Structure 1
Amino acid sequence: MFKRSFLVVAMLAAVFLTLAESANAQGGVFLGARTVSDRGERDVIGVGAGKGEFRRLQFRVGQRAVDFKRVVVHFVNGGQEEIELRDRVPAGGQTRWVDLPGGTRKIVRIELWYDAASTGRGVRSQISAYGAR
């Protein structure tokens, strides 16, 4: 009886952990955001080591399209990586999940170079960064 109960609990735990990891990979962990305008072309999203370690990044765009030109990720150990992200993301859209070279790492900040689409005076958008473990 004990073996059967243990087996059922172990199977349920495995299913739960698999579902939790899948949900985390889809939604991601919010790392930070910047409000951008068509006048800006470079911004920094401060993340901080306290958010944990991540192996993938995704960027989500708010009210208007953003053309990503260059993205540099800075890590706790002082290293940095430029990731390939030359995408035009429509308003309300998101980039693909991008793998960080070197595996799971703690991020300090993310530098973004971009062109935000102009939709009129005073209209701003937001770039949000998400990480997956």
Structure 2
Amino acid sequence: MKNGFALFISICMLTGISSSLAAQSWTFLGSAKVHGVGVDHDEILVTAMQGDFSAIKLFVENEGIEFERVVVHFGNGSQQELAIRDFIPAGGETRVLDLTGRDRIIHSVDFYYKSNPVTKRKGKVKLYGRR
């Protein structure tokens, strides 16, 4: 009975995320597993074929992550640092992170975080972009 209820809740959450992303025309850009313990950073590479974006959002799976900052690297060589400084639980998401300027073709995104050293589960970060 508990497993059925947990499955139902999971499906409802995924459906809600999918429909909210579709309504705002968010595009999946890539994902990365959080490998580090303590303070670390990882990178998500994005292909130029994805196009130009005005904002990004990060979704967290498996285990919560405390984000410090995100650095977005653009195809034209410029970069934008975005302070997050927030704990995002598993199943949660960051606020919308607006990108400034023109030519916002994303090359890669570095995210700096603190992971939970006690648990063996590692978080997964999914990156979405809004045109």
TM-score bracket, normalised by the shorter chain, equals: 0.7 to 0.9
Change (3 A) 1:83 1:91: same
Deviations 1:20-73 (A, max 9, x none): xx8645361001100114526110100121111100000000011111112110
> 2:41 — aligned with what?
42
Change (3 A) 1:23 1:115: closer
For 2:116, the equivalent position in structure 1 comes to 117
Whose radius of gyration is greater, 1 or 2?
1
Note the residue ranges of structure 1 that are not aligned, 5 or more in a row. 1-21
Give the Cα separation in 2 of the matches to 1:90 and 1:42: 17
4+ runs deviating over 2 angstroms = 22-27, 117-121
Task: Quote the residue 1:31 is aligned against.
Answer: 29
Q: Report SS of the residue matched to 2:24.
A: helix
Check whether the contact 1:55–1:104 (CA below 8 A) recurs between aligned residues: no
Checking the alignment, whether the CA contact within 8 Å between 2:30 and 2:44 is kept in structure 1 is yes
Q: Which residue of 2 aligns with 1:6?
A: none
Query: Partner of 1:94: helix, strand, or coil?
Result: coil
Count of residues in correspondence between the two structures: 111
Query: What is the RMSD of the two structures over their aligned residues, measured on CA atoms?
Result: 2.0
What amino acid is the match of 1:126?
K
The two structures have a TM-score, normalised by structure 2, of 0.76
Q: CA deviation at 1:91?
A: 1.0
Query: Residue 58 of structure 2 corresponds to which residue in structure 1?
Result: 59
How many percent of aligned residue pairs carry the same amino acid?
39
Q: Is the 8 A contact 2:76 2:103 kept in 1?
A: no
* Unaligned 5+ runs, structure 2: 1-19
2:75 and 2:36 map into 1 onto residues whose CA distance is 31
1:63-78 equivalences under 5 Å are 63-78=62-77
